[in-house]
Each structure stands twice: as structure tokens, then as C-alpha cells.
Amino acid sequence: PGSTRFFLSLEDQLFRVFGGDRIKNFMVSMDIDDRPLESKLVSGSLDDAQEQVESYFFGMRKTLFDYDVVLSSQREAWYANRREILTNEDMSPVMIRCAEAMMNDILETHLSPQTPRDRWLPLLARVGNTVRQFLPSAKDITGAKLMQVSGGSDYEKLREYLQMRAVEAYWDKVAAVEEQHPGCADEAQRYMFLQNLDGKWKQHLQDMDDLKNEVQFQMYAERDPLVEYKIQGNYEFVELFKTMRRDGLFSFYRFTPPPNLAEVLRVGNPRQDSDAAKRMEEEGNTDTQKRKEEKEDTAELIRSAAQASRQMSEAKKKHKIEDSSQTPGRTAEEEEMAMKTAAAANEAINKGIEELEAQFPEMISTSERSTSRG
């Protein structure tokens, strides 16, 4: 059926980047003019150039995909946590888990089970200082108090004690909020956590984008940038969760509810909400009934006007028929005046009907429109 031939200049960008000068110099040395070349040397150079270009772009896409896989796994974990906060009606399991994890972070930051016992007291004093910053009711937690609780060597007992105090402080705060604003504690926790969560995630996306550019310099140290991106990215993600828990709990522990908290959170008494909804429904039904009655009155008015117009049209036609023999007792001037009066009245009625039809086109049928113009 036919064939296709492709021509490519040796000055094309593909040849210039991938060895076209070598072939061009060969042609100059052999004194070959600009006639088309058909040789295995040219075809092989072209195939090699295409393979290199395809390999380059494939490697670029694969590298971008590998970087996206790291961020995608973090995104799935982050949104699973956010979904849990949104869907749970009771926030206490999430908050208690975060409080216990935060106490673990504080304790493990300053002290480890392998720390010599003679160094525990100054380190426990730092633990107490940090705990008091978060828990308003933990003024009695000092280094000496924690040393006494641990018995000088029991690390797990110390951990359980700190977790217990964090949970107690949480329930105290919930009770205080519920006392002032019943039914608002869970929504207040959810609001603060989501605000903190979304802000931290936006900043993390920016940090990961900056990290992707920074790790490229690891090639000078003969390190794989992708491996460094995974290591540092996972570390930052773990630290992000710790920061989110810490800031969220700190906001709730130090939270002072405003007088209009229920309005801000759009939370109210279920009974009051039900009564309000019922009143709104009744008012809506009343308004609907009023509008229905108004439309019916308007429709009746239009029908009456149309009927009057039809009667006047019939009277006018009858008058025209009897016009040949004028009505006894009337002069020609009186008959003409009566005709003009009837015509003016008919015109006024038709004009009124047109205005009503323009405002309420659905309230009069097509037949009534046609007969009213008769």
C-alpha cells in the first residue's frame, strides 16, 4: 500500500546532543554534499540517541515516583488519624492515648532505664519541670516526688504514675468544661485538635518539599539522595506526630472556655435544638400555607377578570349586531359614547389581566388567556 520515509537533519538537537558532530565531521572530511544519507552509521547513532533520551526520562519519572511513595505513605497515616478524630463522637479514647504517649515522650527524653541510679534525681527534676508546664494540677510533681514514686529504681512504675496524672488532669478539665457548657467538651477537643492537625500538616508538606531539594547534595558525599530522603522524612514525620500530640494536649489543658462557647462550636441542648427545629418547621408550614392562599386569591381574581372580559366582549359583539337599528330612546351621540366607554373599560381590564399574568403566569390557563382577549 505504500511506505513512509523520515528525514532528520544532522543539526537537529537530538544529533547535536548525542554525537551528531562526529558524523558531520566525517561527512566534511569525505567531501559529501547535502544529499540524504542512508547508512547503518546514521541509523545506529539515531537509535542510540533515542534510547538514551528515553532512558533519561524513564529514570526521572521513576525517581519522582519513589519520592512520592514516601510522602504517600505518610499521607495515608496522617489522614487515618484525622478521620478518627472526625468520626469519633467520644474524644476521650484519643485524648487519653495522646496523654499517655506524651508522658512517655517526656520521660524518655530526659531519662532512660539504663541511666545510672545516682544520676536520676537531677534528671527527674527536669521531668517534673516539663510536666508542670503541661498539667495545671501537677504543681506537686518535683524531682524528689518522682524519686519517691519510683523507689529510686523502678522505671515502669514512674511511667505509670506520670500517665495516671496526665489522665486525671484530662478528666478534671473535661469536667470543668462540661460544668460551664454542657455537651461542649468533645467538640472543643475536636476543634482544637483539627486546627492543630491541619496547620502542622501544611507545614510538613512544605518541609518535605524543601528536604527533597536538600538531599540532592548528598550525592557529593556518595550517598543515595532517595535513601537520605526516606530516613530524614520518616524522622520528621515521627517528630510531627509528637509535636501534634503535645500542642493539642497543651491547648486543651490550658483552655479557658468563653461564655459563648456553645455558639462558637454550634453545640446546644438536644431538647432545645429539637424545639427550635419544630418551631422552624411550624413557621415554615405557616408561611407556605399563607403563600398558597395568596396564590389562590390571585388566581380567583384573574379568573373573575377574565370572565368579566368575556362578558363584555359578548356584549360588545351583540351591540354591533343591533347597531343597524339603534336602540329606541337613544341618539347617535349617546350610542357612540356608550361604545367608547365599553371599549375603554375592556382595554383597562385586559391591561390588568396582562400585568397579573406577568407576575403569576402559572395561575391562569391558556384557554382563559385566549378567551379573555376575545
Predicted structure pTM score: 0.55
Q: pLDDT > 90: what percent of the chain?
A: 17
User: What are the φ and ψ backbone dihedral angles of 203, each rounded to 5 degrees?
Assistant: -65, -35
Average pLDDT over residues 228-253: 90
Amino acid at 214: E
Q: What is the pLDDT of residue 62?
A: 86
| Model pLDDT for residues 60-90, shown as the tens digit of each residue | 888 888 889 999 999 999 999 889 888 888 8
Rounded distance between C-alpha atoms, residue 343 and residue 349, angstroms: 10
Specify the residue for cell string 372580559.
309
| Model pLDDT for residues 93-142, shown as the tens digit of each residue | 989 999 999 999 999 989 888 888 888 888 999 999 999 988 888 888 88
One-letter-per-residue 3-state SS of 208-274:
HHHHHHHHHHHHHHCCCHHHHHHHHHHHHHHHHHHHHHHHHHHHHHCCCCCCCHHHHHCCCCHHHHH
The answer to whether residue 16 scores a pLDDT higher than 60 is yes
The answer to whether residue 294 scores a pLDDT higher than 80 is no
Q: What is the mean pLDDT of the chain?
A: 77
| Model pLDDT for residues 259-290, shown as the tens digit of each residue | 888 777 775 544 444 454 455 556 556 666 66
Rounded distance between C-alpha atoms, residue 211 and residue 225, angstroms: 10
The answer to whether residue 298 scores a pLDDT higher than 70 is no
Residues 6+ apart with CB under 8 A from 363: 295, 298, 299, 302, 356, 357
Q: Place 371 in a pLDDT band, splitting at 50, 70 and 90.
A: very low
